Amino acid sequence: MDVVHSVDRMREISSSHRRAGETVALVPTMGALHAGHLALVRRAGSVASRVVVSIFVNPSQFGPEEDLASYPRDLQSDLAALEPLGVDHVFNPDASEVYPQGYQTRVRVTEVENHLCGLSRPVHFSGVATVVLKLFNMCLPDYAIFGMKDYQQVRVIERMVQDLNVGVEIVRHPTVRESDGLAMSSRNRYLTSDQRKRAPAIYATLKRLKNDVMTGLRDAAVILERGRRELTEAGLDLEYLNVCDAGTLDDVARVEDTVLIAAAVRLGAARLIDNVLVNPFEEEDA
Ligand code: PAF
């Protein structure tokens, strides 16, 4: 597994794999790797012959009040976690090469970003779309793997790829959870032990709401009322709970097709998000 810092070298490596008839899968990360990331890496190995993992804490997706400075960074332990997984290249560019002096271009997916987390994090998704497009141009992957916990991020990227004719296939990977249901996240490490005990209530509530829909509940106002009550009773400070169209992320009044039920809560220093996809008209979900 080699660690590549230079953009030119990364492009050369991927180009030569592709010229040799191989396929390349990229797993974009900001490091602080946990078992959820490692599942994405294994998935990458199952779809392509070469696996690139990028590790780059992207400043443009953090707002001024957010945790850019304190975001956990530990390249050596990330490399140790990746080593046994057969990763071919770890791409770890320097911020000065990703955003050189004079940099002034941003990608915005104007409607999908304007919901859920985008409402309280106004620069976040344009920062994500911008860096992901740059990582695609730097790593030249055939596939890129993204986890469903960040469902809005997945939709932003899918929409960008479609709108800008980007030749990368986006692979969705199911959320990886702790044994008590909490979605794995690099930010879970901010939780105190008391907060950690309360956090699984997020997914427990989402699962109950999903079950309500699967057994006939269709009215979004009733779904939301139940969910808000449960999350508040569990001692969680709710930022949002929404029932929305799984493609556009527009709120729906009734469940008539596949919906996303998504929540964000604040728990001490952590802001946790989770979601379930629900389609009561087909026995298929995520
Ligand atoms: O999901 C993440 O870790 C980041 O948003 C991503 C996709 C690596 C872009 O910085």
Model pLDDT for residues 172-218, shown as the tens digit of each residue:
999 999 999 999 999 999 999 999 999 999 999 999 999 999 999 99
Domains of the chain plus CATH, in order, are 2-173 (3.40.50.620), 186-274 (3.30.1300.10)
Catalytic residue check, 89: no
- In three-state secondary structure terms, 89 is strand
Closest CA to 227 of 249, 210, 214, 244: 210
In this predicted structure, the answer to whether residue 243 has a pLDDT above a threshold of 60 is yes
Q: Which two tokens stand for residue 186?
A: 């690099």
> Using alpha carbons only, how large is the chain's radius of gyration in Å?
19
Residues in the chain: 286
Q: Which two tokens stand for residue 136?
A: 């695609």
Q: What distances in angstroms separate CA 228 from CA 209, 212, 218, 220, one per listed residue?
A: 11, 14, 16, 12
Q: What distances in angstroms separate CA 43 from CA 8, 74, 147, one per listed residue?
A: 26, 23, 11
What does the DSSP 8-state code read for residue 71? S
Q: How far apart are CA 156 and CA 162, in angstroms?
A: 10
pLDDT digits (tens, 9 = 90+) for 216-228: 999 999 999 999 9
**Could you tell me the distance, in angstroms and rounded to a whole number, from the CA of residue 104 to the centre of ligand 1?**
20
Identify which of 56, 131, 172 to mutate to test ligand 1's pocket (most ligand atoms within 8 A of the CB). 131
- Of residues 5, 17, 34, 37, which has the active-site annotation? 37
pLDDT digits (tens, 9 = 90+) for 94-146: 999 999 999 999 999 999 999 999 999 999 999 999 999 999 999 999 999 99
Closest ligand 1 atom to the C-alpha of 186?
3
Residue ranges lining ligand 1, Cβ < 6 Å: 28-30, 58, 61, 128, 131-132, 150, 153
Closest ligand 1 atom to the C-alpha of 58?
10
Q: How far apart are CA 102 and CA 88, in angstroms?
A: 33
For the full predicted model, state whether its pTM sits above 0.75: yes
Write the residue with the smallest CA distance to atom 5 of ligand 1. 128
**Could you tell me the distance, in angstroms and rounded to a whole number, from the CA of residue 125 to the centre of ligand 1?**
10
Q: State which amino acid sits at residue 171.
A: V
End-to-end Cα, the chain, rounded Å:
32
Closest ligand 1 atom to the C-alpha of 128?
9
